[in-house]
Amino acid sequence: MELFDVYPLYNVTPVKAEAEYVWDEKGTKYLDLYGGHGVISVGHTHPKYVSAISNQLNNLGFYSNSIQNPLQKQLAKKLGELSGCENYNLFLCNSGAEANENALKLASFKTGKSRIISFNNSFHGRTSAAVAATDNKNINAPINLQQEVTFLPLNSIELVIREIGKGDVAAVIIEGIQGVGGLDEGTTDFFQEVEKLCKQHEVFLILDEIQSGYGRSGKFFAFQYHNIQPDIITTAKGMGNGFPIGGVLILDKHEAKFGMLGTTFGGNHLACAAAISVLDIIEEEQLMKNVNEVSTYFKEQIKSVSQVQKVKGNGLMLGVEFDFEVGELRKKLIFEKQIFTGGAMNKKLLRILPPLTMNKEQVDVFINALKEVL
């Protein structure tokens, strides 16, 4: 059997990793400024994370969601405390798309409506409603067209007023900071106006923090820059540092009903052990403080690269924009300088999504490499 060939691949084969580095099968060491799509939060193979998962596996790896699982409660409590979202309840699933799918479904259950408002250049995943709410026709199949989605430009509040006013909207879904699209984001005024409109019209405000959450933006969730309270927050990527897990945080005024949502694997013992250890490490090692310090340093140092047009994003969710497409630049950074970076829908943008443990020396290594390659 061959693999179903859906991914264009770089010819690199990582076999080992530690902290901010990965090694290929020939022993070549790479600096990881991409964290495997913004997934690696506390660093590769962090010893505490590895031992938490190993210990759990030795005790109980999996049982279904029809028994007591105290690890889920422990995870919910810790996540509430660290994120400042104690007035939310947690539903656990396995991936980002699944988190958004459940969020949209819940909004539709609760409002009895079905239209979604999403934004240009958004990415919310590849399942039924999540992909329909994603602004990319190439990844929507005819079966996904059954969903009613209206795409609006970011920061055009008049258009949101017009659409919500029609009375058939279940949810507005928006990324804290756009990831795949290219690091654009709503202004504080925009987020606050959208929140107000959603409240007035009983529409669910869903904040997709799958990429921008878990400390990556310098706050636990990127929407916390805007002083708003979404109805639902979705998380995944950094939550398990590579172990598949997703979360739907639901404002506690929205009540659950048995059977409303469900999953076989979501919230299993191993995933919870991984996610609890991630939160412990974020707290113990003060990683959000590190994110802010290293981000400030990065933004300062990158000014010395004359070809850079603009730096977008917050914390260690950064986009470096040029006036040319960056495909070749990314290849050179990998094969000549052994540095992983990311691309975006905006082809002129280099995406920087390192582990939250990245340090200033590694910023210097990147800036020097970038100058040499340019």
User: Which of 37/360 has CB closer to ligand PLP?
Assistant: 37
User: Which of 266/338 has CB closer to ligand PLP?
Assistant: 266
Smallest gap from residue 75 Cβ to ligand PLP (A)? 18
Q: What are phi and psi of 258, to 5 degrees?
A: -55, 130
Residue 201 CA to residue 355 CA, distance in Å, equals 39
Smallest gap from residue 236 Cβ to ligand PLP (A)? 5
Residue 95 CA to residue 369 CA, distance in Å, equals 34
User: Which of 185/208 has CB closer to ligand PLP?
Assistant: 208
Smallest gap from residue 255 Cβ to ligand PLP (A)? 26
User: Which of 43/247 has CB closer to ligand PLP?
Assistant: 247
Residue 6 CA to residue 1 CA, distance in Å, equals 15
Question: CA 113: distance to chain centroid?
Answer: 27
User: Which of 214/369 has CB closer to ligand PLP?
Assistant: 214
- Determine how many CB atoms are found less than 10 A away from the CB of residue 203: 26
C-alpha separations of 53 from 47, 50, 245, 247 in Å = 10, 5, 13, 19
Smallest gap from residue 36 Cβ to ligand PLP (A)? 11
Smallest gap from residue 368 Cβ to ligand PLP (A)? 29
Residue 339's SS3 state is strand
Smallest gap from residue 210 Cβ to ligand PLP (A)? 4
Smallest gap from residue 25 Cβ to ligand PLP (A)? 26
Residue whose beta carbon is closest to ligand PLP? 96
User: Which of 175/193 has CB closer to ligand PLP?
Assistant: 175
Enter the DSSP assignment of 328: H
User: Which of 208/362 has CB closer to ligand PLP?
Assistant: 208
The amino acid present at 347, given as its one-letter code, is: K
Token duo for residue 190: 């925009």
Task: Check if the beta carbon of residue 24 is closer than 8 Å to that of residue 13.
Answer: yes
Residue 169 CA to residue 153 CA, distance in Å, equals 17
Interface residues toward ligand PLP, by CB under 6 A: 37, 95-97, 100, 123-125, 175, 179-180, 208, 210-211, 236
Residue 14 CA to residue 33 CA, distance in Å, equals 14
